[in-house]
Copies of this chain bind each other. A is one copy, B any other.
Amino acid sequence: MRLEVHTRERQEFVDVTREVARAVEESGEKDGVVVVFCPHTTAGVTINEHADPDVAEDILTWLGRTCPRGGDWRHCEGNSDGHVKATLVGSSVTVPVSSGQMQLGTWQGIFFCEFDGPRSRKLEVRVLPERD
């Protein structure tokens, strides 16, 4: 299954928890894991708190300070910081599924991480079964 994500800022976390949960339901799988994969090289996917939006903001701010856009980069497209952040955050998350429900912790949400937007992006979702 494929999810579409439309980002509005150069760097932004977009909460996709609900969309992934729906994809898990539609798969009909009851027990196993769901893999959410980002097919972009200046974006990623992470799991973190989605109750307080300040948490995502703090993570983005820290990433921006530690790896600023301007810098002594070789790659000439002006988005090397986005590539670094994509590798730091990672290209996929894997979440357990039981009885057809993602087993996220109380405060956890799944975020699409945009590091070179705004753009139209996508995520690939696969649900893998445990043995029956």
Q: Does A39 contact B (CB under 8 A)?
A: yes
Q: Does A83 contact B (CB under 8 A)?
A: yes
Give per-residue flags for A19-30: 1 if the beta carbon is below 8 A from chain B beta carbons, else 0. 000000000010
Given contacts A75-B58, A126-B32, contact A105 B39 (CB under 8 A): yes
Cα distance A39–B59 when bound, in Å? Answer: 18
Q: Does A35 contact B (CB under 8 A)?
A: yes
Query: In chain A between 42 and 63, which residues have their CB closer than 8 angstroms to a CB of chain B?
Result: 46-49, 52, 54-55, 57-59, 61-62
CA distance A75 to B52 in the complex (A): 7
Q: Which of B29, B40, B54, B127 is within 8 Å of A105, CB to CB?
A: B40
* Closest chain B residue, CB of each to CB of A13: B87
Q: How far is the CA of A39 from the CA of B94 in the complex (A)?
A: 11
- Chain A: residues with CB nearer than 8 A to chain B? 29, 32-33, 35, 37-41, 46-49, 52, 54-55, 57-59, 61-62, 66-67, 71-76, 80, 83-84, 86-96, 103-108, 124, 126-131
